[in-house]
Structure 1
């Protein structure tokens, strides 16, 4: 007897496949990372991230207007700090007239309804490329948290809607939340990089910001004393639950594709929005393979985006955001 249930009936053509599709992607799903540099009319392609650019403030203004016209309503700002402004204390990070602070105001002036999230970490400002203050070969936690809190307040004062601590220091979410409450920033949100793994996929990003750890004697060569061990699964849930208890509004898993099991674990357990960062190495691999003709660029980015959303992501931080929106339109 032939089968009564024929699942292929629901795959017969594109129309029926669309009708029964379980996972839907829209522009509202995306958070767009943007890299900002000093200067005017500067649009620098990042060598290890083809077709992605560092932008000066005037071109940042044009970019956010274009994003808004495409239905992309949220950006995540990163700044490339000149070497002469770097030190071991993150002094430039709390400059009210610093590049990040100016970038926030530029976006808000150009597109007031755009959600502005800001990277809160010391590595772009550090002479050592670390996310914390370095002393005697150690990354100091509590002293770094004090700086991150000041940095977050500075971003809030400049007009940021959310700060996004990406450092993985213990206790920084609580410190930032308490400072926001004390200073009256009741509506400024926190997107915590809660499960950020010590990944080899961050290389192109560090090229973009010149923020890789330096290779010096008595300085940690990597970030494994604060970013998570990629062999660990249950630790991610502990970190995430603690960040929520400390006041995080959104939590994040980073990187994306290699950690979709973690995304699903967290999605099953928490009831706050979950972001996933499809990182620079994931972007670069697709670009390189597509350039060689080994992969279909558009097909692969769509498949990976759907995989991230299907795994449980409410928000996808992706360098492919504009590409995907064009494809699904």
Structure 2
């Protein structure tokens, strides 16, 4: 009978009981390592917190004495066991030990840093003093990126970390694109593309989404679009800007619409330009050189007018202007939707 081995085992059991550590460790760890680890935990001011670490985390720490000492230091500073366990699940001991313990503790105690991105934050953002708003944007930006990217991994983060706490990436603007990876790659290689997207967001009240066709056009002429948008930003009122941007993006003719808008305003149509932000039918009418009639408002009416304008139903539009009262008397009767009625 090995008396020393029995003594160590009994001492381990006593210390496990006292520290409330997982008793299963006696079957999983080398007993001498376990005894040494338990003694370190007992001597630490963080002993009461150690028990809240998951069993697999406790086992890993017991088997890696240097990491155990490091983690006890984090707990002693004030890091929560749950956050410590999350970070340990994202990194190897050798990597974590390279980081300054106090800085790691600061990040762990900062609830503005999402648990799922603790290691990413530690790798790429630990040296930055971000504001609360920037941290919130970064949280969303990293969530978007790792949810939507397919092939980039962390490759874009190392040299382009700032874009991930920009509103362009942190919002939902790019979330509907079919090639999210390609879009981000284009953005980091062209500051003009980023600036054009940023203008769209700013003018639209930070709630716009773009689709593949929007991005294709922006990618082709980012500088031109940015310059026109800056002009439009000065022209429209704050109340008009969100609807203007919504209609502009939905019409999928960015450069054409913006250039025509500026030309028309230069030719004295500034009142009409302000008025056309009221609804999509008035927007379409403005660019197709059709007069907008106030009674056109309403979803079904707007759809009908947009169809007539974009398909150049001249006879129908002339009838509407000349016989407005008659038209509205029979509006949405079955005959109104016969093909012959709108042929022109």
How high is the TM-score relative to the length of structure 1? Answer: 0.18
Q: Which has the higher contact order (CA 8 A, sep 6+)?
A: 1
Query: Which protein has the bigger helix share?
Result: 2
Query: Which protein has the bigger strand share?
Result: 1
How high is the TM-score relative to the length of structure 2? Answer: 0.18
